[in-house]
Structure 1
Amino acid sequence: MQAQLASRGSPAVSIVVPAYNAQDLVAACLQSIVPQMTAAHELVLVDDGSRDRTAECAQAVFDERPGLRARLVRQPNGGVAAARNRGLLEARGAYLCFVDADDLLLPGALAALDRAIERHRPDVVAWDFLMWHPHKERKTRRVALGYAPQQSVTGRDAILSPFFANRHMYVWAHVIRRAIYAGLPQPVFPPGRVFEDVAVLSRLLSECASLVRLPLPAVAYRQHAASLTRAISPTWCVDFALAQRQVKSTFAERGASQALRLFIDAAACHFYIGIVKNSYQLPWAQGRAARRQVKEIFLDSLFHAPGQVLDAMATGALPWPDPARERAVARQVRLALGDSLCFALARAASRRIKLWQRMAAA
């Protein structure tokens, strides 16, 4: 019966899983998705040139459910952006749901998604997630998106202002109509670039007229012990900064209200100070050169003069979700832009201490 139902018509939702060298994790990911699927769903796994048994592990899960509308697509390695782009080409559902191969789709997610689509027919469904620490479960926490639950949100500012205020810029936390992806310049995700979610997701949401938030944690976002000590490179720093400058370009072209521009600029400040702090993991001369380049890109990514943005963050000019955090970031950005030696020395010491602590705990 399942096989017969799956052959009728196009699916309502396509779940796209990009995977690379994920043989130890991909089966758990797929097994979290497959039991939730009905004839209204399809599953597309894109094996991005894995050199291990990722494809075989995925196919074994599919073979256990012969009536499942699921398929494995293989391509030469091109990075996660290329894998997502291939998934977009292969998907046939009205809505697109991305799940990374090392994460889990939590029980009840697809059923809740189906109900939200049936009731509201929104352009995008946003859902909460878990910041999941599988080796230290006490650190696992729920992250809630900044929208009222189960209510339809309409209008560009109402959708985008909470998005930039909360800065949860994960494509897998937003299930968006495939037609909106198709309407963007192709390829949607810039190949060869990291942080593609930051630049792409805001552009996608700018095309959405309505949004519904599901107030349940739908994705367990795996935090890897190894990723805590990942090598930060100058390219990593610059790519992150360039992604935010692309956001400015998008909204300079499409237009944005004064309030939305301030939210966008504040998000750029948060990302900038995050880049600066991480850059202190680099050798001193290399880090200094990266910070110089990132500073130039950051200033070019702002709609307003930096002092105006930082004043707005410090004085509560907009309804920030965490005013104390805004004040702290504004203060740190002022120090970073002023090339404060005390700030630089404190950041360098702090980064190294944290790195040693994380390595010891890993």
Structure 2
Amino acid sequence: MYLSNPMVSVIVPVYNAESTLRRCADSILEQSYPDLELILVDDGSKDASPLICDSYMQKDARVRVIHKPNSGASATRNLGIAEARGHYLQFVDSDDWLTPDATEKLVAAAEAHQADLVIADFYRVSGKLVASKHRVMPVGVMTRREYASKMMENPASFYYGVLWNKLYRRDLVVQHHLEMNPALRICEDFMFNLEYLRVARYIVAVPSPVYYYVRTKNSIVSQTYGMTTLKIRLAAFDEYKQFYMDVLDEKAYQKARLKVYRFLVDVAMDGVVLPKPAPGTRSLKAADSPETLDDDWDL
């Protein structure tokens, strides 16, 4: 059922975000679309974040605050989903913020096209620099298969893997018992999106940016990952491959198979500095192209 003014539940996981939380919360509460609730889920923060959350709840009836012991981003978002009352779900990270009409644009697209998923462009913020991320997506409604084929063209892009540039139907999430995997430190948003796409019939893209994504220092610099992280990334690849085998027919999958394999390289090497190789062995180098690192998402 599609409504004229459906409520949107905006879920923000909060952990030690005292320096950015106000900017984030203000951008949500000042949206041109007023029919929303803001759910701030404090994940055991040790700074002033809990007090900031409570202050917003005291001054705006649309804000609900949940305080809980630290358990990670996945469990925090899952709790937000469980407490949500809106027709749609929207996710925002506490160090990022929305454009003033973000929610209005997402809801308008969903309602106009009776879409199960809305996906939008975004801005990348690095220091004082702001750049728009332009994606080549068809305007209008796509089927699951059409969307999957388009996603295949740039499989490791932030655009497809993250939660925060999308609008989801809460009833589909609840009906199909979808949630983030608390056991995963990385890839949980990507895995959630793949599961959601299995039940979403129609997807629509919003061409204009609606979100300011702040790329922090820790996400820019190379990091050393252990075998656990690599195994998670390989498991993500297996899910990705299975998704395409399920969504596309055999002929279409075989035609696009090399792009799926390219994804394995992207997710295995994105931003990774591998441990020093043993003597006499060959070392592997992560891609160092600025454009590649800029477009890929941090699994």
TM-score by length of 2: 0.82
Query: Cα gap change, 1:278/1:225 in structure 2, threshold over 3 Å: closer, same or farther?
Result: closer
Equivalent pair of 1:131/1:220 in contact (CA under 8 Å):
yes
Does the residue aligned with 1:147 lie in a helix, a strand or coil? coil
> 3-state SS of the aligned residue for 2:152?
helix
Q: CA deviation at 1:267?
A: 4.0
Counterpart among 65, 74, 79 of residue 81 in structure 1: 74
- 1:264 Cα shift? 6.6
Q: Does 1:27 align with 2:15?
A: no
CA distance in 1, matches of 2:42, 2:100: 24
AA matched with 2:141? S
- In the alignment, is residue 222 of structure 1 matched against residue 214 of structure 2? yes
| Deviation digits for residues 86-117 of structure 1 (CA, Å, limit 9, x no counterpart) | 11101111111111111111121122223223
**Which moves more between the two structures, 113-122 or 123-132?**
113-122
Residue deviations 1:246-284 (CA, integer Å, cap 9, x gap): 2334455x4532325654762442342452364434233
| Contact 1:45-1:73 within 8 A present in 2 as well | yes
Question: Is 2:180 the partner of 1:189?
Answer: yes
CA distance in 2: counterparts of 1:47 and 1:57, whole angstroms: 10
**Corresponding position of 1:270:** 263
1:141 is aligned, of 131, 141, 145, to: 131
**Partner letter of residue 47 of structure 1?**
D
The answer to whether residue 51 in structure 2 is matched with residue 95 in structure 1 is: no
Corresponding residue of 2:149: 161
Q: Give the secondary structure class of the aligned counterpart of 1:284.
A: coil
Q: CA 1:230/1:164 → structure 2, altered by over 3 Å: closer, same or farther?
A: same
| Offset of residue 36 of structure 1 | 0.7
What amino acid is the match of 2:9?
S
Q: Is structure 2 residue 167 aligned with structure 1 residue 175?
A: yes
In structure 1, distance between residues paired with 2:175 and 2:244: 17
Residue 40 of structure 1 and its aligned partner are, at CA, apart by 1.8
Q: CA distance change for structure 1 residues 166 and 250 in 2, over 3 Å: closer, same or farther?
A: closer
- Is contact 2:56-2:63 (8 Å) kept? no
What is the identity, as a one-letter code, of the residue corresponding to 1:165? Answer: E
Q: How far apart, CA to CA, are the structure 1 residues paired with 2:255 and 2:176?
A: 25
Letter in 1 for 2:138: A
* Corresponding residue of 2:293: none
Secondary structure of 1:166's aligned partner: coil
Q: Pick from 28, 40, 52: which aligns with 2:35?
A: 40
Instruction: Give the greater-gyration-radius structure (CA).
Output: 1
Matches of 2:255 and 2:43, distance apart in 1: 38
What is the CA deviation profile of residues 316-339 of structure 1, one whole-angstrom value per residue up to 9, with x for unaligned ones?
xxxxxxxxxxxxxxxxxxxxxxx9
Equivalent residue in structure 2 for 1:209, among 193, 201, 216: 201
Larger RCO (alpha carbons 8 Å, 6+ apart): 2
**Alpha carbons 1:23, 1:54 under 8 Å: kept:** yes
Q: Identity over the aligned pairs, expressed in percent? A: 27
Alignment map for 1:56-135 (pairs within 5 Å):
56-65=51-60, 68-133=61-126, 135=127
Counterparts of 1:264 and 1:86, CA distance in 2: 37
Determine the C-alpha separation between the residues in 1 that align with 2:112 and 2:90: 18
SS at 2:30's partner residue? helix
Structure-2 change in CA distance of 1:76 and 1:263 (3 Å)? farther
Cross-structure match for 2:141: 152
Please say if 1:231 is aligned against 2:219: no
Deviation at 1:172, TM superposition (A): 1.4
Corresponding residue of 2:296: none
Paired letter, 2:204:
V
Evaluate the alpha carbon distance shift between residue 283 and residue 248 of structure 1 in structure 2; reply closer, same or farther with a 3 A threshold: same
Change (3 A) 1:42 1:236: same
Following superposition, the deviation at residue 208 of structure 1 comes to 1.1
Give me the whole-angstrom Cα distance separating, in 2, the residues matched to 1:117 and 1:185.
Answer: 21
SS at match of 2:164: helix
Shift of 1:236: 2.3
* Contact 1:199 1:244 (C-alpha < 8 Å) held by counterparts: no
Q: Which residue of 1 aligns with 2:297?
A: none
Q: TM-score, normalised by structure 1?
A: 0.69
Say if 2:222 and 2:273, in contact at 8 Å, map to a contact too. Answer: no
Deviation at 1:132, TM superposition (A): 1.4
Q: Contact conserved, 1:160 with 1:206, CA < 8 A, in 2?
A: no
Give the structure 1 partner of residue 252 of structure 2: 259
Two-structure CA RMSD over aligned residues (Å):
2.9
Secondary structure in 2 matching 1:220: strand
Q: Deviations over 1:185-242 (max 9, x none)?
A: 45x1111311112222122112111112111111111111233236322122221221
Q: Whose strand proportion is higher, 1 or 2? A: 2
The match for 1:54 is 49
Alignment of 1:237-252 (within 5 A): 237-252=230-245
